[in-house]
Amino acid sequence: MSLLRVPITLAVNQQQAIRTLSTSSYLSQKKQFKSKSPQNIVLVDGVRTPFLVSGTDYSKMMPHNLARHSLLSLLRKTKVDKELIDYIVYGTVIQEVKTSNIAREAALSAGFSNFTPAHTVTMACISSNQAITTAMGLIATGTYESIVCGGVEFMSDVPIRHSRKMRSLMLKANKAKTLGQRLSLLSTFRPSFLIPELPAVAEFSSGETMGHSADRLASAFSVSRKEQDDYALRSHTLAKQAQEKGYFTDLVPFKVDGVEKTINVDNGIRVSTPEALAKLKPAFVKPYGTITAANASYLTDGASACLIMTEEKAKALGLKPKAYLRDFIYVSQDPIDQLLLGPAYGIPKLLSKTGLTLKDIDVWEIHEAFAGQILANLKALDSDYFCKDYLKLGQKYGTPDLSKWNTWGGSLSIGHPFAATGVRLCMHTSNRLVRENGQLGVVAACAAGGQGVAMLIERHPDAHAN
């Protein structure tokens, strides 16, 4: 399919062309859509730590410290007093056992009031999308007016457990009352009990890693290795350009104890050559798989946070919001067969719900778990068979305009700290809507468990890109 031979230069040139449109053309061509929301909910602003490859400069920290940085940076950027925050919702996927409600621990360490409740959500890679939509629900019901939402992931230090047999022995030993009972338990110990249980980025129900599943998905949709490598190169190239142009205004530099320099860039962006990419060995399905370290997202540390409010409250505080959070939908499928097809299911449902079509969308920000997964989603939307049989549509849905698709790179290049990515997607959508002079943006993402999300974001008239 020629569409999927991703035209990097086309994407970049068209982006420039879009940006030259005047603001008045955006206002005169406003599109209408359906919305059930009883009031306008605005995304005031959002921030994130630099996203770092796991095991690099954040490796001595704890996740709540990363989250703390994003919370404090958000307050500094928005100049909103923390006493005005009614509630905090934060996402995380691989939990640090000492801070199971990381929302609360991060908030306390950032100096939020003891009287500001906070809870933690988890929905795999869409956890901070879930934090945002949970907050939208709390605002829509009139419960609160002003909520901080975010997410954090820390892959540099994940909980590694003793084996089940060792844990059982230790728990029994803890309860043993006499020396005899302890010695008797000790006699049941075997060296094999010491083999640890390592966490895997894998599906619990099937045991399959995300990478393996993505490899099967790419194969099912006939996505070639070359197509995946080209897409990965596009992602890194566009991210590098956006980084150099200073577009990542959601990123807040971070001075980390023990690290000499202030960290002020995402450190996983790496523009390679097609030849170097072609040489890499498969990372998951060996020896014939097509997913490699370069066309997969990499394990990343990072945190993000954003402030959402009723529009009335934002106006009363004199804030200039970035965007309206207009609508969203979650989808889920069989996690064995269709683990990573969230965007293909979510996008048509969201657009149908809001009375919009692909052509109405000015900015697409779609989570890139793997290049093969992204291309499989595009092929699915362009397939009569898939759209009829699985989406129950009359014919193929069609594919978004790739010149409007992840034009600042995506999770493959910028990084993917699982629970922090959702806020990054919403912020890049909002900031791109300003720079590219658009009105409507769609965020969509897949997640472990066969789940996915699609969100509709509209540029706010007061929005600015910084």
Which spans of this chain sit near ligand ACO (rule: CB under 6 A)? Answer: 125, 201, 210-211, 236, 270, 272, 276-277, 280, 283, 293-294, 296-299, 340, 369, 416, 446-448
DSSP 175: H
Q: Give whichever of 176 and 280 is closer to ligand ACO, judged by the CB atom.
A: 280
Q: Give whichever of 208 and 250 is closer to ligand ACO, judged by the CB atom.
A: 208
Minimum distance from residue 58 beta carbon to ligand ACO (Å): 16
Minimum distance from residue 284 beta carbon to ligand ACO (Å): 7
Cβ neighbors of 104 (< 8 A, separation 6 or more) are 88, 117, 118, 119, 120
CB of 450 closer than 8 Å to CB of 208: no
Whole-angstrom distance between the N-terminal and C-terminal Cα of the chain? 38
CB of 44 closer than 8 Å to CB of 307: yes
Give me the DSSP letters along 54-99.
TTSTTTTS-HHHHHHHHHHHHHHHHT--GGG--EEEEE-SS--GGG
Minimum distance from residue 53 beta carbon to ligand ACO (Å): 7
Tokens of 172: 């029994």
Identity of residue 184 = S
Cβ neighbors of 453 (< 8 A, separation 6 or more) are 126, 129, 130, 133, 328, 329, 330, 331, 342, 346, 422, 443, 444, 445, 447
CB of 93 closer than 8 Å to CB of 125: yes
Q: Give whichever of 112 and 221 is closer to ligand ACO, judged by the CB atom.
A: 221
CA distance 107 to 113: 8
Strands 146-153 and 300-310: antiparallel
Q: Give whichever of 438 and 450 is closer to ligand ACO, judged by the CB atom.
A: 450
Residue pointed to by tokens 């009105």: 439
Minimum distance from residue 368 beta carbon to ligand ACO (Å): 8
Q: Give whichever of 73 and 235 is closer to ligand ACO, judged by the CB atom.
A: 235
Tokens of 256: 């980390």
Q: Give whichever of 18 and 299 is closer to ligand ACO, judged by the CB atom.
A: 299
Tokens of 292: 């490699």
- Cα-flanking dihedrals φ and ψ of residue 87, to 5°? -160, 155
Minimum distance from residue 302 beta carbon to ligand ACO (Å): 13
Q: Give whichever of 14 and 272 is closer to ligand ACO, judged by the CB atom.
A: 272
**Residues designated catalytic:** 125, 446
Minimum distance from residue 295 beta carbon to ligand ACO (Å): 8
Minimum distance from residue 41 beta carbon to ligand ACO (Å): 26
SS3 labels along 388-404: HHCCCCCCCCCCCCHHH
